[in-house]
Amino acid sequence: MAAWNVNGLRACAKRGFLDVLERERLDILGVQEVRATAEQLPPEVREPAKWHTAFVAARRAGYSGVGLYARRPPDAILDSLGSPRFDREGRVQIARFGRLVVANAYFPNGNGKARDNSRVPFKLAFYRRLFEVVQRQRRGGLRVLVMGDFNTAHTEIDLARPKDNRKTSGFLPEERAEFSRWVDAGWIDTFREFEAGGGHYSWWTQRGGARERNVGWRIDYVLASPNLRPFLRGAFIRREILGSDHCPVGVDLEADVFG
C-alpha cells in the first residue's frame, strides 16, 4: 500500500503514472494533489482496468484533491470530516476494507499566499479534526492507516537542512509538536519502524538540482494504529520513481490484515 502526492494527476499521467501503478504491485494507492475532478481525468487514469477508484475534488478548480486506487472495492468510503471549511478543499478519503481502514489525506501547507505562515492555524486545525475521526475508528477496534502528504517533517533527520528551516512552515515547532501528539497517542511512523537513519526524503524542491543532490524533506508518511504492528512487514520510500516533486511512500502488510 502506498501514498503519492502526484502534483497534478493529469501531468503525472503523462510521466508514467499508470506504469508505476502496475509495476509496484500495490493493493491500494492513495494519491494527493490531484488538481482535477474525476471527469477531467483521462478515462484510462480515472478507471484503469482491474482497479476500483474514487476521487474527491476541491471546489476551487485545479487545487488540492485526493484519489484512491484499490484492487478490491471498499466496503464504505467517507469523504467528509464534517466541517465545510475542510471539506471544500477535498483533502481526505476514509475507506474501509474489512477490518482495515485507510485514511488518504492531503494535509494543508501552512505557508499562505504571502508565504507568511498564515495558514498554519488552519493546518493544525485540520490535523486535530482528522485525529478525532481516526481515533474513533481505533476505539472501534479497526486497524487504521493514515497515509499521504502530511506537509510536516517531524524530526531533524527528516529534512536535509533543519537549521535553515526552523521558521519555515513544515518544520515549525507547533507543527512538529502536533505530529508528536499523534505519535505520543500511539500512532506508528511505519518507516521509522524499519529505518532509524537520516537521508531518506519524499519531497524535493524543483530548483537547484535538489533531488539529484538529495536535499529534501520527508513529509509523506504512512501512520499505523498500534493494532497494526503485528501485520507490518516493511516500509519504503521510492525515491527512484519520478513523475512528481514527491515520490511514493508505503508499507508492506500481511495479507490477512483485512480479515
Least Cα distance to 172 among 190, 157, 188, 152 occurs for 152
The alpha carbon of 72 is separated from its chain's Cα centroid by a whole number of angstroms, namely: 20
190 in Cβ contact with 222 (< 8 Å): yes
Residue among 149, 158, 189, 220 flagged as catalytic? 149
* Residue 26, pLDDT score: 96
Phi and psi angles of residue 106, each rounded to the nearest 5 degrees, phi first? -115, 95
The mean of the pLDDT values for the chain is 97
Residues 82-98 pLDDT 10s: 999 999 999 999 999 99
Nearest to 244 by CA among 202, 212, 200: 202
- CA-to-CA distance for 53 and 251, rounded, in angstroms? 20
Over residues 113-123, the mean pLDDT reads 94
Number of structural domains, the chain?
A: 1
In the chain, alpha helices (H): 9-13, 17-23, 43-46, 84-87, 120-139, 173-184, 190-194, 210-213
Annotation says 149 is catalytic? yes
- CB neighbours of residue 257 within 10 Å: 19
Three-state SS at 126: helix
CB atoms within 10 A of CB 189: 18
Q: Which CATH number covers residue 121?
A: 3.60.10.10
How far apart CA 50 and CA 240 sit, in angstroms, is: 25
Which is it for the CA torsion 28, 105, 67, 80, positive or negative? positive
User: Is residue 59 pLDDT above 90, yes or no?
Assistant: yes
pLDDT tens for 139-181 read 999 999 999 999 999 999 999 999 999 999 999 999 999 999 9
Strand partners, 146: 103, 223
**pTM, two decimal places:** 0.97
For residue 89, the model assigns a pLDDT of: 98
**pLDDT value of residue 82:** 95
Cell of 119: 495558514
Cell of 138: 481505533
Q: What are phi and psi of 212, to 5 degrees?
A: -65, -35
Provide the pLDDT for residue 114: 87
Query: Using CA atoms in the order 19, 22, 28, 30, what is the torsion angle rounded to 10 degrees?
Result: 0
Q: Domain range holding 230?
A: 2-258
Residues 212-246 have pLDDT tens digits of: 999 999 999 999 999 999 999 999 999 999 999 99
**Contact 230/238 with Cβ under 8 angstroms?**
no
User: What is the predicted pLDDT for the residue at 39?
Assistant: 98
